[in-house]
Amino acid sequence: MFKRAAVVFTAMSCLTLGIVMSAGLTAASGASSTLTIEGNTGVTFTDNFNPLDSGSFATQLSVRSLIYEPLFEFDSLKAGVSYPWLATAYAWSNGGKTLTFTIRTGVKWSDGSAFGPADVAATFNLVSSTPAANIWGLPALSSPATVSGNTVVLNYATPQYSNIVNIAGTQLMLPANFGTVNSPAATATVTAPIGTGPYTLNNYSSTLVSYKANAKYWGGTPAAAQINVAYYASNTDAATALAAGQLDWAGNDIANVNKIFVDANKATNHIYFAPGSTVTLEFNMTRWPFTNVAVRRAISAGVNRSALSIKGETGYEAPATSLSALILPSQASYLNSSYKNDIKSTNQPKTVKSIMTKAGFKKNKQGYYALKGKVVKFSLEDPISYSDYYADIQLMSSELKSEGIDATVDGVQASQWYSDSAAGSFDSIVHWGNGGTDPYTQFDNWFDYTNSAAIGKTASADYGRYHNATVQSLLSKLSATDPSNTAAVKAATLPLEKIEATTLPIVPLLYGADWDEYSTANFTGFVTAANPYMDPSPGDPQLPYILMQFKAS
């Protein structure tokens, strides 16, 4: 499935304009072409563009950044590469506890008012003081953000070096009065969004939302005069639209994509599935049977990852090979040799039996393991419209049932899955990871309970509510480690690897792809294997940067 989560890489501790933006900011002007993109499938459209609301159209279709922009754009495919955006530089001080941004001048909001440091400070103060609005899991400020001339200063209680991508690259900037005009900020319905991005809202309908080029955009005129985001009920429907030339840019696992799309016109139709994340089976750690470590280990041993790769993901995502959950090969430099190739690609029924019997489990009359009368029974929830993930959970259900674990399939609507994931209202889910080249944000997203919430409340991370004080302390130590010091990062990562590999609060399944199918019939400038300048998928927060590289064909 299309990876929409934030991504992370090894960032430098101080960045200036020495790394410059490409020529995309002077993209072709006057173009009248329309670009149709697919930000997600199976999501019910709602007339809501609130970027802080996890249930809004803009969030669930991953198109917030058409209107709202980050301070920096980060390339998740290349360690240390980023591009100044609404900020032109950042610098750490005070041992990584203080972060200072220099804000770009000459930027205007789409209503014509000036964008400036006050808006940036207000954005960080809002998400720091309003947990429900902190959907990216930013660390809390130790004091309110302050403005000094053209800079904004953020102070934290602990070093936050490794959080730079979340802070600068995923948090989208809002008008200073956003929380006042839209109250409560995290759930208010926003139908007339005001942003700094390359596009403004043109028209909303329940099946098609269109955006038009922002005439006041600070970066110039984008090549596509209009962006259409169309409703597709499933990956299959998106594939049909691609094959028919009705969709320019999609982000899905599409079966036989070469045959139905690429081979139809090799001159214009292309795919680029960049290595992106670790796809995992995430458990609700507050529920039986996941509170038992033996069950988690048995489930991992009972999964046929090769079948998931070939049958579920059509061969485009490789089976995970390390219980550490690190992404390979992009995070191989941090991998402890003890956890290299410690996963069998096929399921291991004998191992499942050994784990369960040693832990005291016995099979009941129905053939399922139980302990003191409690049966090992749970559901696997994923959207039916995500054809690959839905196939994955069907495969796992069949495998695990045959091995004495009563895992049932719970296919739901995509909107419900998003809601259930954030609320912790699930037994288990298959979910893409945060990805990148540095391990911090990946582990942070899975395990950081400071960005979690009580069951039933919206969480921006730690969907499984894995509240482990030791892990939290290790995350803090990793966050305080300067990412430019690879050896130190590896040393701080190893204890997290060990806990993950030996206790499996999440189970690594696959090495996920950043799905990307595109046609150059109308536009060129897409991310390619030869020029991997950004996460290639059509989603947040990379949309502004990629779209400003486009030129009319």
Mean pLDDT, to the nearest integer, of 497-523? 95
HEC-encoded secondary structure of 206-230:
CCEEEEEECCCCCCCCCCCCEEEEE
Burial 114-149 (b: 16+ CB within 10 A, else e): ebbbebbbbbbbbbbeebbbbbbbbbebeeebebee
Res 10 pLDDT > 70: no
CA distance 33 to 125: 39
What is the per-residue pLDDT across 32-74, written as a single tens digit (0 to 9) for each? 489 999 978 988 999 999 999 988 999 999 999 999 999 999 9
The confidence band for 21, taking pLDDT boundaries of 50, 70 and 90, is: very low
CA distance 326 to 317: 15
Res 12 pLDDT > 60: no
The confidence band for 452, taking pLDDT boundaries of 50, 70 and 90, is: low
Of the ranges 204-213, 261-270, 272-281, 349-358, which one carries the lowest mean pLDDT score? 272-281
What is the per-residue pLDDT across 416-447, written as a single tens digit (0 to 9) for each? 998 999 899 999 999 998 877 778 888 988 99
Q: At what angle do helices 440-447 and 486-503 cross, to 10 degrees?
A: 40
Pairing of strands 82-84, 72-74: antiparallel
The confidence band for 79, taking pLDDT boundaries of 50, 70 and 90, is: confident
**pLDDT at residue 451 in the model:** 63
Which domains, ranges and CATH numbers included, belong to the chain? 276-513 (3.10.105.10)
Q: Residue 479 in 3-state DSSP?
A: helix
**pLDDT at residue 109 in the model:** 98
**pLDDT at residue 543 in the model:** 98
List Cα–Cα distances, 5 to 188, 397, 431, 463, in angstroms: 22, 26, 10, 13
Res 11 pLDDT > 60: no
Contact yes or no for 176/119 (Cβ under 8 A): yes
Res 23 pLDDT > 80: no
What phi and psi, each to the nearest 5 degrees, are found at residue 526?
-65, 160
Length of the chain (residues) = 553
What is the per-residue pLDDT across 266-294, written as a single tens digit (0 to 9) for each? 999 999 998 788 999 999 999 999 999 99
Res 261 pLDDT > 90: yes
Mean pLDDT, to the nearest integer, of 206-213? 97
Q: What is the mean pLDDT of the chain?
A: 91
**pLDDT at residue 252 in the model:** 86
The confidence band for 122, taking pLDDT boundaries of 50, 70 and 90, is: very high
Query: What is the DSSP-derived secondary structure letter of residue 8?
Result: B
CB atoms within 10 A of CB 477: 17
